[in-house]
């Protein structure tokens, strides 16, 4: 599957959206709340405009599902669907801890086949496409950008578990307690950065028991799988995309090896 053009465009748009986000991040901004009481800022909106406008221009034949756009249900009739979270980790953005990302994914026949995750504050960009590996570019806005191939660690003990900075659950706490002999360290991170830590070999496991949305996981799934990780819903089934119900209500896990499955 050749997705070279799709990857080039989504990387360019993710970086451009990241620049917009930083302009707002470095100044005062207002916070709104959506019906589900989740926060919304001007950065979410401006990033969404950049990405959606660019994708529509470059790939008018593809459908788009974005957290901050009205859902166009004609996407169900399209094999190709962009899945966008223009600002993943709005709570971390508001806290100004830098742990937020721009997520752009592409699904084909409900499977994530491309993923781009940009970290504006660090100027780091993770990307992958189906069967082409996963990569991290550091200092990507500079001429001396560095690109490295991502590969999960091969640890089978002294495991490092990454967990959400904003969404720790009782189930996760119990899992950690039940497996404390195997877990040497727990790390907290915001947004899709948790999956990126597994992809780059800095952690071996990430369990999310609570609900997420399609746009929270699509880009991350492609990247971690191309880095060699295992990504499954909590019942062991495959996560699919471009669905009628956008809620990932089963939870999911990411592990470096099948032997390290705790559930």
159-260 adopts what CATH topology? D-Maltodextrin-Binding Protein; domain 2 (3.40.190)
Q: Where are the domains of the chain?
A: 4-149, 159-260
Rounded average pLDDT over 26-35: 85
Predicted TM-score (pTM) of the model is 0.95
Strand ranges in 109-195 using DSSP code E only, listed in sequence order: 111-119, 124-129, 134-138, 146-149, 159-164, 183-189
Bridge partner residues of 146 (DSSP): 138
Statement: residue 41 has pLDDT above 90: no
Closest CA to 220 of 236, 212, 121: 212
pLDDT of residue 145: 79
Do residues 161 and 183 make contact, with C-beta atoms less than 8 angstroms apart? Answer: yes
Distance, CA of 73 to CA of 244 (rounded, Å): 8
Q: At what angle do helices 4-25 and 42-58 cross, to 10 degrees?
A: 160
> The domain 4-149 belongs to what CATH superfamily?
Fructose-1,6-Bisphosphatase, subunit A, domain 1 (3.30.540.10)
Rounded average pLDDT over 67-74: 94
Distance, CA of 35 to CA of 167 (rounded, Å): 19
- Structure tokens, 3: 């997705």
What's the whole-number average pLDDT of the chain? 94
Percent of the chain with pLDDT over 90: 86
Beta-carbon count within 10 A of 245 CB:
8
Q: 242: left (phi > 0), else alpha (psi -120 to 50), else beta? A: left
Distance, CA of 123 to CA of 234 (rounded, Å): 32
Rounded average pLDDT over 130-134: 97
pLDDT of residue 143: 66
Which residue blocks in 61-185 are alpha helix, DSSP H?
Answer: 90-95, 170-178
Confidence of residue 66 (pLDDT cuts 50, 70, 90): very high
Closest CA to 105 of 124, 131, 82: 82
Q: Which residue has the tokens 């979410």?
A: 44
pLDDT of residue 142: 67
pLDDT of residue 217: 98
pLDDT of residue 140: 73
């Amino acid at each position: 599957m050749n997705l070279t053009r799709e990857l080039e465009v989504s990387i360019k748009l993710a970086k451009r959206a990241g620049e917009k986000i930083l302009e707002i991040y470095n100044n005062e901004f207002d916070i709104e709340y959506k019906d589900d009481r989740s926060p919304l800022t001007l950065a979410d909106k401006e990033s969404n405009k950049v990405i959606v406008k660019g994708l529509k221009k470059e790939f008018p034949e593809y459908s788009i599902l974005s957290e901050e756009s009205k859902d166009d249900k004609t996407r169900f009739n399209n094999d190709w669907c962009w899945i966008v979270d223009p600002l993943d980790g709005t709570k971390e953005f508001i806290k100004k801890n830098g742990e937020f990302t721009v997520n752009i994914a592409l699904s084909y026949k409900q499977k994530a086949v491309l993923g781009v995750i940009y970290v504006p504050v660090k100027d780091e960009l993770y990307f992958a496409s189906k069967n082409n590996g996963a990569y991290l570019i550091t200092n990507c806005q500079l001429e001396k950008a560095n690109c490295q191939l991502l590969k999960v660690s091969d640890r089978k003990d002294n495991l490092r578990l990454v967990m959400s900075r904003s969404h720790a659950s009782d189930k996760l706490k119990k899992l950690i307690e039940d497996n404390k002999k195997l877990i040497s360290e727990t790390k907290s991170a915001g947004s899709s950065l948790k999956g990126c830590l597994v992809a780059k070999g800095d952690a071996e496991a990430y369990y999310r028991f609570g609900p997420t949305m399609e746009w929270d996981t699509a880009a991350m799934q492609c990247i971690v799988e191309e880095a060699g990780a295992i990504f499954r819903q909590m019942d062991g089934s495959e996560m699919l995309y471009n669905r009628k119900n956008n809620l990932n209500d089963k939870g999911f896990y990411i592990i470096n090896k099948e032997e390290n499955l705790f559930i």
